[in-house]
Structures are given as C-alpha cells and as structure tokens.
Structure 1
C-alpha cells in the first residue's frame, strides 16, 4: 500500500455518484472527537440544490462590506473600470481554491475542521480552525457594527436630532451603542434557529437585498444626470506606476475578502445533493454576484463625487443624505437585511463548527455561535473600518496571507497526497490514520507557519512599521495571498515526500 492509497474500508459506503458516508455511524457517536455537528452528514440529509448555493452567495455577497470593497477602491483613486476589473479578477481567482476545498465537503459530508484533521491531525486541526474562527469573529463584529449604524440612522429619521446627537459614550452616541446591542441580539436569535433556519432565511432575503442595492444606484444616477458624468470620472492614479502600486495589494485584499470561505466552504457543501449542484451554484453565485455588487457600488460612489463633490464610500452615510424619510427607512431596512444575511452565513457557521471542534463535548452549533457573537464585540470592530487603507491593506491583506497558507496545505494534501481519498472513521480516532504524532502532523504546521511568515512577515502601513515587520520580506507583502497559498502548498508537499508518515509506527487505533 502506498502513502496515497487506502485499504478496503468496510466502515464507509461509496455511492454511485461518488459521495461517501459511514456504514455504521454509531461507531463514532458520542466519542471524544465527535458531536452532532461534527459527524458526517448522512447522504439522505444532503438536500441543498444549485439554487440554495446561488442564494447563499447572493446573501453573503450582497452586503455593505462587499459594497465598501469597491467604493473603497474609488476612494483610493481608481476609476470605475479599474475598480471593477480588480474585484472581478479577484473573485475569479479565489473561486479556484474555494471549489477545490468544497469537493471534500460534498464527497464526505464533513465540515472544514474535520476535513483539516486529515492533514493537520485530529488535534492539530484546531490550529487552522481557530485561526479561521477568530477572523470570523472579527467579521461578525464589523457586520454587526454596520447593522447597528443602520438601525441608529433609521430611528434618527423618526426620533430626530435628540437621538442622533445623544450624549457620547466611548466616542460614539450612547444611542448608537444601543442600536449595536439590539442588532447583535437579533442575530443571536437567528443563530439559535440552527443551519436550516439560516438556509430558509437566505432563500428569501437574498432577492430583496439585490433590489435594494439596485434602487440605491438608480437614485444616485438620476441625481447625477445619467451615467455619462459618472463614467467620465478620470482615475486619480492613471494607468501608470501610480495605479500598479495600488493594484497589487488591492487585488490581494479583494481575494482575501473571501479567503475565509475558500477554507470553510465544506461547512456548506457537506449538505449538497452532489458535486454538480455545489459547483454550479457557486459559479453562478460568487463571481457574478460580486461583480454586480462591485458595479453598483462603483457607480453609486462615483455618482456621489458628481452629486456631493466627495466620494461617500459608506452606503449607510449615503442613505442618510436622502430627503424622503420613507426612502431612507426602506433603504436602511434593506441594508440591515443584507448585513444579517451575510453575517450569520459567512461569520457564524464556520466559527461555530471551529469552536465546537476544539471542545466537542461542551459546544454545539448554537452555543459556539454565541461564543462567536461575544468575541465579535470584544474585538472592537468599530476600529477596523474607520479608514479604507486600514480596512483593505491592513485587515484584509494580513489575514488573507495567513489563511492562504492553510488553503495551500489543504489543496496539496487532499488533491496531490491523498488523491481525494479519506477514511471517515479515522478522522475521529485516537491512534488512527490521522493521529500522526500525538494528534499533530508537524509537516502541515510547519508549512502553515512558514507560509504565513513569508506572506505577512513584511506587513507595512497602517498599524505596521513603514519598513515592514521583517524588513527584507516587505516586497512580498503586496502579494500576501498568492505568496501564502504557493508557499503552504509547496512546503507541505516537500515535507510530506521528504519525511513520509510511518504508518506502522502509529499506535493501535481506537475510537476516542
């Protein structure tokens, strides 16, 4: 038997369409490394269709931070065409690792942290899982703050200046903190409804959000006197060195926006009816939807330059400029729906599984989701979105490089070392195939850490030193996501072939 082959395994069933499930699920039920959320999804419970995945991406992509990506590029000096091409290219690129990692979720019915056990070890999988989880917590906080701002603006239109200009608390009106807390609570209630409640919410919320963003664009185009004045806005960067200096880190930041989902899409594809459904749904949902929201954002933000003489890159602030209170309220309600639709899908599902993986006997989907919501506040998200330079270059660029090294390990391990073959029962075993040394595969850990250092060790600008954290790595930081992905991929392959796993040395397997 070679390292990439598996012995005949009577514990799992391979269906004609290639999907795999456990033959005897009770073998891992109630064990140390399993709970109701982490066990493989039975084939008869995998019901998500192409539409479900398309709607999921519509709901996740049609949100205010997505809007801020494009409007932020305009605010940094790009014209509409430069910003649109940057975002469209980024989403085509990130779709590739996303689909590669999605395959395992559909084939084996397992979430991301369990998938990672095959390469990091049953215990070692907590490293990539918790890195992914804490970034999701940060995003949950950012989205919740934005939703709170929208609620604050809505009530302000009804209650007047007394609400909007209330006494400050920690630099913001106390009424804004109240709105933030209320929106946080509403989302926690949705989290408590579980994954099926989330799927139903996405199915009807996504189309409404699309209509809202279109309405916002149409209004600003009318105010600007048509598309002509908007598309005639010249780039402040030109097409020379000024543009290319901004383009590379901007492209990495745009890719990093969904670098999180490129890891944990198995959390969703584990429910797919088949590979075709999830692949088609994601191709229809991600690049098309992100290009659409980018174009809407670019036109709207460019229109604000014509109408107001400045680039208003925040749609919540733009909505407050409207004179008709009914229009303001309807627009902001749609913004709230957009924010909630993205937040609970992109930033709660993954950390819920990730935290549950760390403490499977103590945390399930709902309680881990509550942990996510609490950490999302502790991170102080209001500090992350005050400046497009910090938002795009520091926040997105840095974590994108770190997560890319994990994606490189997963792709190398699943497609090139294991050749898409995984023993399901060993993912939950003490001393099994994926136990490695004490539950950790040092090869994956080294590949991740070295890849991350190469990708973000030279971080500069914003909160980082102008000369970079590690000076000689500074030139690599503008390409952080690409560097992390390639480095993680190559280092894991090299270490695996140079120091093969000695299966005979593994202790006798037992279900822990």
Structure 2
C-alpha cells in the first residue's frame, strides 16, 4: 500500500479505505491526515503550561520540602528530573508527528497489533490513578472554597467513610465537569487548554505572594537550612526523589504521540515542548518550594497541599481567587495528561466498541475505584510507593519503544500495517514475545527490589520484594529504561524483527521517484 512522504518528512495515507474495515481501526485511532495536523508551537507550549501548572505538580515539588530538603536541593532535584525525562519524551514524540498516530498504535510496531494493548493498558491504568488523584485534589479545592462561602454547615457536615459528605459531593461534581468536557472530544480539550493556560498561574502566584508578605520577604525562606544537609542523609533521599520527578512525567514520555500526531511539523512540536516542559515545571517548582518553605515558617509545618495551605489564609477574597485558579488548573492538567491517553488506550483494546468518549468515561470510573485519597494522603506514599513503582515499569516500556523505533526501525514504519490483521506487525498471532520479555525483564529490574523506607508507611517489605534487587529500586526508572532497551535490542540481533512485506512510499509535492519503506 502506498503512503505519501511530504517534503518535511511527515507521512500520510492517501486512502484509508483498505484499512477502515479492519477490527483494529476506528476513527479516533486513524492516522491524522497531514492537512489536519495544524498544532503550532504555542499549542504545545500552552498544553504543557496547562499540564504542569496544577496541584499535583505543586505537591511534587513541595513534598520535597516536607521530606527535609531546602529550597536549593528541591529545585535541583525537580529541574534535573524534568530535563532527563524530556529526552525520551521527544524521542517518542517524533513518531506521532511523522505518522499522525497515537501512542497505542505506535506501540503496535514493536509489541504487535494485539500485544500493544499490554503497553497501552499499563499506561492507561496509571493514568486512571492520576486522574483520580487530580480529581480528588480538585474536589478538595471546591470543598474548601464553598466552605469559606457557606461556613460550618458545609465544612462540618456529617462524615461518610472518614470524610465530610460535602467533600465527597465536591469530588463528584468535579468528576462530572471533566467527563462533560471529554465527551465533546479532543478539539474541546485543545480549546480549553488554550484559554486556561495563561490563567492557571494566578492561583499559585497568589499563594506565593501572600506567604512572602507574611514571612517578611524571601530572605527568611532562602536562609532556612536543609534538614538533610548535603551528606549521606540527602543522597539517600535524592536518588528515589529524582526517579519520582522523572516518573511524574514518564507517562507522557510514552503517550506524547497522542498530542504530537496533530503537530504542524517536527520543529513546532519540539520547540513547543522544549519551551513548555522545563520552563513551566521550573516555574511551578519555584513557587511551590518557596511557598511551602514560607508556610513552614508561618505555621510551623510544611503544608505540601496548596489547597490546605490556602485555607489557612485570613483573607476570604484571596482564598477564593486562589482556589478558583487552582480548580481551573487541575481540570486543564487532568484532561490533557490523564484522560486523553487512556481514552485512546481503551479504544485501542476494543476499537469497534470503545470510542474516545467512552474511553474517557472508563478512565473516570477506574479513577474513582483506585481510591486516590489514599495515594495522596502521605508524601512518602506519593513519592516512594506510587511514583517510584510505576515509573520503573513505564521506563521498561519506553526502553522498548526507543530501541525499536530509533535503532531497529530507524524511524521507518509501515503506516497501513499498523492497522491490519496478519500484516507486517502481526508477528505471532498479533504478539511480539520479544517486546513482552524485554518489558518484563526491565520492569523486574526496576521494581523487583521495591521497599519501604525505615520509619515510613508503605506497601512493600523493608528488605524489598526481591532483596538483591533492592539497590536498583532507588534508580527504578533508569533501570527499567536500560533493561527494556538492552534486552529488546539483543533480541533484534536474531533477525526476528524483519518485515514480512514492503510498503511503497511515494514522495509528495514534486519530489520524484519512489522508495521502499520497511515495516
């Protein structure tokens, strides 16, 4: 089947009729025509601003203060983590822009048309957890906001399941609002991101300004010493904290093709992401670190949840403005980072039965069932258990994708074959055992030694699930990435990844001749 290569390297299918009848095809998973790939540098910058400026991002940085770091240690940890995770993110983003395909379809090239569901659903269930966490903290912000307006009748309502019923109601309302937006489709998400992106910083700046004013300026905050120092106590926390920073966006490092498939060019999506992720995360981290440090001076404890910190303010007007901005920020981030991807992933599992909107609804339901209020209850669980564990698993998937796309396939894919049964990516009954084994090996190396630090609560044994792998858990994402990459590359030496058929690529817009594109 012929595919058209544009002068800028993007590839298009002139006719999707031959693949539209496949049970592995639906409109949401179809390659985006080049004419409709219109996202600009600003769209990606705004996307990252919307995704990064939210309560969990704030809590990620502020939790480092709660763990004992000073402002400099926390900022170094966050910044370094974001720069590292940007590398696999850009590598995987390339395929989305070149072929117009979402992450689960991209994964078919390496895991098989059926096997890609393993990678996609791993990513999807983690996104469901994040959706639940973001929805919980957004609902909490609504609860606090209405509590300031309605007083004790709202704040001191009868408890159900350990929480006021009004908090559960706020959680439910926040959930419904997000479902209504996602039901309108991807274009509604893009429009929402564009107009909320410049506004979401307001709430965090209000928090910072108030704390700086009350604390007597920035001097007392910057002079606050680290509780860990720069010795062994710091380095013991630094490694797993750095992996947590990477893990925070490791989900997006896999599924950025869900967004870059709409890119107007590789340059636009690369510029947008380079301008977007490091700058926006550094900004929110500085705000979070300074605000939490100042809050510790004012209130005697590091309050890492910004909604709870805002509730301490004496000015009702400031509280309301800050919380409204935080609510908008959380919706913006949650839709882009935690609903779009699993919607595609669930749709990929059952293309003819699950649409993008239905996939979003499934995400919302699982996000409740995962009980996000437990995951978010303690910084040790949030960083060391939740982020550290899933980051290692997704690192293994990223290793397979990067090895497969950049080293084995050299960025050349058979676009139509990604949708066909018994085509070039069918492997063995739709599964690539090599990719699955590489993922399992990488994941075991990464999280096999998962442990709970002494003196903290957590789900893992103190000596690690597999004791001799315990040292690797502090470097879980790196261990998973390297393990998946190396094992998949080793399998490629057997020649088992050679394509079964050829696809002809026809240069577009005046370029002469044809070339053969392998699968």
Q: What TM-score comes out, normalization by structure 1 length?
A: 0.96
Alpha-carbon offset, residue 500 of structure 1: 2.3
Q: Deviations over 1:174-223 (max 9, x none)?
A: 11101100110011111112111111111111111112211211111011
**1:314 corresponds to 2:310:** no
Q: How does 1:45-444 map to 2 (within 5 A)?
A: 45-444=36-435
List gaps (5 residues or longer) in structure 2: 453-457, 503-519
Alpha-carbon offset, residue 503 of structure 1: 5.0
2:20 partner SS: coil
Q: Which runs of 4+ in 1 moved over 4 A?
A: 502-506
Say how many residue pairs are matched: 497
TM-aligned CA distance change 1:502 to 1:220, over 3 Å: closer
Partner of 1:488: 484
2:168 partner SS: helix
Q: For the residues of structure 1 that align with 2:299 and 2:419, how far apart are their CA atoms? A: 59
Partner of 2:471: 475
1:28 partner SS: helix
Q: Could you tell me which of 451, 460, 482 is aligned with 2:451?
A: 460
List gaps (5 residues or longer) in structure 1: 1-9, 507-512
Q: Deviations over 1:320-352 (max 9, x none)?
A: 111121211111111100110000000000000
Partner of 1:3: none
1:469 partner SS: coil
Contact 2:77/2:238, CA 8 A, preserved across alignment: yes
Q: For the residues of structure 1 that align with 2:494 and 2:440, how far apart are their CA atoms? A: 18
Q: For the residues of structure 2 that align with 1:503 and 1:427, how far apart are their CA atoms? A: 12
2:114 partner SS: coil
Q: For the residues of structure 2 that align with 1:499 and 1:74, how far apart are their CA atoms? A: 50
Q: Could you tell me which of 479, 493, 514 is aligned with 1:497?
A: 493
Alpha-carbon offset, residue 502 of structure 1: 6.0
2:200 partner SS: helix
Partner of 2:511: none
Alpha-carbon offset, residue 282 of structure 1: 0.2
Q: For the residues of structure 2 that align with 1:146 and 1:256, how far apart are their CA atoms? A: 19
Alpha-carbon offset, residue 30 of structure 1: 3.4
Alpha-carbon offset, residue 307 of structure 1: 1.2
1:447 partner SS: helix
TM-aligned CA distance change 1:431 to 1:475, over 3 Å: same
1:13 partner SS: strand
Alpha-carbon offset, residue 499 of structure 1: 5.0
Q: For the residues of structure 1 that align with 2:162 and 2:334, how far apart are their CA atoms? A: 25
Alpha-carbon offset, residue 254 of structure 1: 0.4
Q: Deviations over 1:128-154 (max 9, x none)?
A: 000000000000000000011011111
1:48 partner SS: coil
